[in-house]
Amino acid sequence: MLTIGVMVVTAFVMILNETIVSIALPHLAVAMEVTATTVQWLISGFLVTMAVVIPTTGFLLERFTPRSIYLVAVGSFVVGTLLCALAVNFPALLIGRIVQACGTAIVIPLVMTTVMRLIPADKRGATMGTISIVIGVAPAIGPTVGGAVLAGLGWRWMFWLVLILAVAMFIFGVMRLHVPGETKHIPIDLLSVGLSAVGFAGLVYGLSSIGQPNVLLPSWASILIGVVALAVFIWRQLGLQKQDRPLLDLRTLTYPRYRLALILSLFMFMALLGAGAVLLPIYLQNVLGHGTLVAGLALLPGGLVMAAVSRPVGTLYDRVGARPLVIPGAIGMTLALAGFAVLGKGASLWTVIGCDMLLMLSLGLMMTPLMTDSLGALADDLYSHGSALLTTLQQVAGAFGSAVFVTLAALGSATATGIPDADGLRLAFSVAAVIGVGAVVVALLYKRPEKSATPVEELIGQPDES
């Protein structure tokens, strides 16, 4: 348990860092003299980098020992955080964030795979509940921490404080962390790495550049390049699977329950990172006129609610399964996003806090069951690839949500500068609510499978529903 505890704390700090700058985006846009859509790349660029790196973790977790992977991940995170703290312009800050993301991307699948290998099946829900606090709560309270630090010390201290913690974790890992594990001597397919990088980066860059002037490529061209690269990547993996050396084993998708949990997770992360972590801080500052400290503190109750329910939900999942949890979770998520859509310039701070608490409660009901249920459906030798694919697409969904929602908010705004105003944010939250309706539909398809479920069993129509 010490091993898992160390990894969980490390992942918490890294993912907290993922959204800690979101509260500072308006401030950084002015300080760095860039537009709102450009500064948003400090979030989307982080997520895209994770989406590019995470597919390689299925290979890494089989090729190298967990201890080696942990030290490389934390070491990369330390270097990236130092670059951010010392950055003198926007490109330098973005490079630091990308290096940070490389380390963060490796740690998340490492934690999930370690739990699946070390924890008995009947206790995984409770343990995954703890991990849900990391994956869900850390990005939820990131804006709160960032707002407090920004108000009291300045934006550079958002990185100096994280750097101190990261260095301490690295030293602890060198001295105390020892994780049992077997390795396989298999070569990495560099073509697959390149295809995944071009595919995911091209897709999200194209989406984020819609309607923006002075871009490197037209948005349609970037999206097309990304889609074609991902199609070739999938074809390549199917061929490598026959040789038992894929970069990302797509046989995980032959498990119906894994597929359904994966789809629902994508909706969830679009809401968590795109709407909750990016749009809401902009709304609190640009529309309601609150400072960074007040805006950050307003998001704290929602983060605490998710933290409070994550482990109990995991324990409840061990008893009743996923369906009784994900359906009310999806409904609550949709209602919260719709609530944000109807709020305007005159909304009270407490109303906003209430909607955010409903959103975080709903996401807390969904996150642990989806993570545990998806990986629990897989064969043991697919855990690392299942966690890699799940985490990759979650980050892509978050990047997609962030890019599309911010772009919609800018396009729907009446201001000539494109800075999101009340009308633009209403449009963005309305689209998010429509996506929430899609999540409800998918959640209603969830059935409780027989204990002897196999990859070829269908989820729809199982007689034993929970």
* Residue whose pair of structure tokens reads 């026959």 in the numeric block: 242
Q: What confidence score (pLDDT) does residue 326 get?
A: 92
The distance from CA 71 to its chain's CA centroid, rounded to whole angstroms, is: 22
- Asked if 462 and 450 touch (Cβ cutoff 8 Å), the reply is yes
Average pLDDT over residues 250-276: 86
pLDDT band for position 458 (50/70/90)?
very low
Write down the mean pLDDT value for the chain.
Answer: 80
Q: Binning pLDDT at 50, 70 and 90, where does residue 457 land?
A: very low
Q: Which span out of 91-100, 174-183, 192-201 was modeled with the highest average pLDDT?
A: 91-100
pLDDT given at position 179: 63
Q: Which two tokens stand for residue 426?
A: 């209403």
Cα–Cα dist 426/338, whole Å: 9
* CA 376/CA 353 separation, integer angstroms: 35
* DSSP 3-state of 338: helix
- The 10s digit of each residue's pLDDT in 142-169 is 777 777 888 778 888 888 998 998 999 8
Q: For position 79, what pLDDT does the model report?
A: 94
CATH of domain 2-177+247-444: 1.20.1250.20
- How far apart CA 402 and CA 126 sit, in angstroms, is 30
pLDDT over 90 (residue 113): no
Average pLDDT over residues 237-252: 83
For the chain, the domains span 2-177+247-444, 189-246
Query: When comparing pLDDT for 79 and 140, which is higher?
Result: 79
Q: Which two tokens stand for residue 433?
A: 């609510």
CA dihedral for 171, 173, 174, 175, sign (positive or negative): positive
Model confidence at 466: pLDDT above 70: no
Give the pLDDT mean for 166-180: 80
Q: What's the pLDDT at 459?
A: 43
Q: How many distinct helices (H) and strands (E) make up the chain?
A: 20, 0
Query: How large is the greatest C-alpha to C-alpha distance in the chain, in angstroms?
Result: 61
| 312-337 as b/e: b if 16+ CB within 10 A | ebbebbbeebbbbbbbebbbbbbbbb
| The pLDDT of residue 249 is above 60 | yes
pLDDT tens digits for range 324-377: 999 999 999 999 999 998 987 888 899 999 999 999 899 889 888 888 888 878
Q: Which residue has the higher pLDDT, 345 or 3?
A: 345
Q: Is the pLDDT of residue 235 over 90?
A: yes
Instruction: Name residue 328's amino acid.
Output: P
282-319: pLDDT as tens digits: 888 888 888 777 877 888 888 888 878 877 888 888 88
pLDDT on residue 460: 42
pLDDT digits over 50-84, tens only?
A: 777 877 777 777 777 778 888 999 999 999 999 99
Residues 6+ apart with CB under 8 A from 69: 57, 60, 61, 106, 110
Q: Which of these, 263, 271, 229, 219, lies nearest to 407 by C-alpha position?
A: 219
Give the C-alpha distances (Å, rounded to integers) separating 111 from 107, 242, 246.
6, 28, 21
Question: In angstroms, rounded to a whole number, what is the distance separating the alpha carbons of residues 281 and 286?
Answer: 8
Question: How far, CA to CA in Å, does 455 sit from each of 65, 126, 378?
Answer: 29, 25, 8
Asked which of 7-21, 37-51, 115-129 is least confident by mean pLDDT, the reply is: 115-129
Task: Read off the pTM.
Answer: 0.73
